[in-house]
Amino acid sequence: MIPLLLRSADNVQPIFGILAVLLKMETALKLEDSPTREEDVRSSLEVLDEARNSNQFVRTFCYGELAEVLRTCFGCSKCIAMHEWLTVFIEEFRSDFFTDRYESSGELEGERYLNQDSNLWLKCPDGQNLGEAIPLLEAVVEAIKLQETWPEADTIEATQRDRWSRIFYALGMFSCCSYIILPCEE
């Protein structure tokens, strides 16, 4: 039933589908003793991936609600399926919205406009709508926080270093955006 809601032509039914999937996933994450927890989370994530391939309105809603679910599941025990999916989700965000910094090629890329501490640049391919970027960034930050509670590093110091490096590139978007110059209307 939920996949049918996601495939609907209007914008209302996919929203109900996303809500249902996220509620199912949140419930599975919180039921830590359930023998089907991993499979329930994995199936929810597969449906969520389908929703992420939908139109911009649906994706924007999906990212906003995903951030809320991740926030409420903070502190739950590690779920392998969720951990793997969040790792890919964070890396997709990085590759979709950032590129490694290269030598400046014009006046607007001069040193006075750049954050010298950043080694990543925000990229905006033609036609890419940044309206979903804020809810997506929220979801990425919550994903990083949740993964932080599931450390894989041997020491706390390594975990903190990894956390801050991941948060800095996510928040680097804001420092990069502060240098965007918009044309003035005359």
Q: How far apart are CA 99 and CA 123, in angstroms?
A: 6
Q: What confidence score (pLDDT) does residue 137 get?
A: 86
* Residue 164 burial (10 A CB sphere; 0-12, 13-18, 19+): exposed
Q: Which residue range(s) make up the domain with 142? A: 2-177
Q: How far apart are CA 35 and CA 19, in angstroms?
A: 23
User: Number of folded domains in the chain?
Assistant: 1
Residue 186 lies in a domain: no
What is the pTM (predicted TM-score) of this model?
0.73
Kindly give the confidence (pLDDT) of every residue in the chain, 186 residues in length, as a single tens digit, with 9 standing for 90 and above: 666 676 677 777 888 888 999 999 999 999 988 999 999 999 999 999 988 888 888 888 899 999 999 999 988 899 999 999 999 998 888 888 777 766 665 665 556 555 555 666 667 665 556 677 888 888 998 998 888 888 664 445 555 556 656 666 556 555 444 444 444 444
Residue 51 lies in a domain: yes
Residue 43 lies in a domain: yes
Residue 84 lies in a domain: yes
Residue 185 lies in a domain: no
Evaluate whether 97 touches 169 at the Cβ level (below 8 Å): no
Q: What confidence score (pLDDT) does residue 155 get?
A: 45
Torsion of CA 159, 163, 165, 166, to 10 degrees: 140
Q: How far apart are CA 146 and CA 153, in angstroms?
A: 15
Residue 183 lies in a domain: no
Evaluate whether 60 touches 132 at the Cβ level (below 8 Å): yes
Residue 184 lies in a domain: no
